[in-house]
Amino acid sequence: MYTPDLYKNENPEEIRTFLKENSFGILINQTHGKLCATHIPIELEINADGKEILQGHISKLNPQAEGFAENDQVLAIFTGPHSYISSSWYDHENVPTWNYIAVHVYGKIKIVDYDTAVEQLKKLVDKYEVNSANPVRIEDLSAKTMREARGIFGFEIEIEEIQATKKLSQNRDDHNYQNIITELEKTKNPQSIAVAKEMSKCRK
């Protein structure tokens, strides 16, 4: 991912938090010489060796999974809030742009066994059911329902490289920076307001 130095995020804790809060990603690999991508939850976890990994699952009917054996290199893309930035918000002439936050994770993927895949499902469901009035638990599902889990491949991704971009108008002076935040808040667009919130965190 091309990222000018000004917009690079090299704060490990910040990246870790971002991945946990924006875990619905895009898994990309090459299968039979063709690029494939699937939109799925991909969770940051710690493995038995204490190393950070990504884990998730994919349908066995998805042709993308056929490529894991021939080429274990994958890319997982995670995106956060983003918004158009109008140059009319500056006190000088300039071109419009786009503000956004994104993380690319490169690594090696491997398929895990069924029991490990079920444990992954338990963690995933528990994470997203925590605020439910009647939380679903994998442990409570019937054997008939759990047979559906036989239709997935659980996977782990050994992280080899992380590239993180946080492009939030860092190149603007304080006056224009604050004006961008104000204008974003006026849009009433949830994405734009989220960008304004992130910008406010970066420059008090």
b/e burial code for range 25-38 (CB count within 10 A of at least 16 → b): bebbbebeeeebeb
Mean pLDDT of the chain: 95
For residue 74, being part of any structural domain is answered with: yes
CATH of the domain at 28: 2.30.110.10
pLDDT score of 142: 92
Q: What is the pLDDT of residues 153-178, one digit of tens each?
A: 999 999 999 999 999 999 999 999 99
Tell me the pLDDT band of 48, cut-offs 50, 70 and 90: confident
Residue 160: domain span: 5-169
| Interval 77-96: pLDDT, tens | 999 999 999 999 999 999 99
Residue 203 lies in a domain: no
Considering the entire predicted model, what is its pTM? 0.93
- Residue 27: the pLDDT is 98
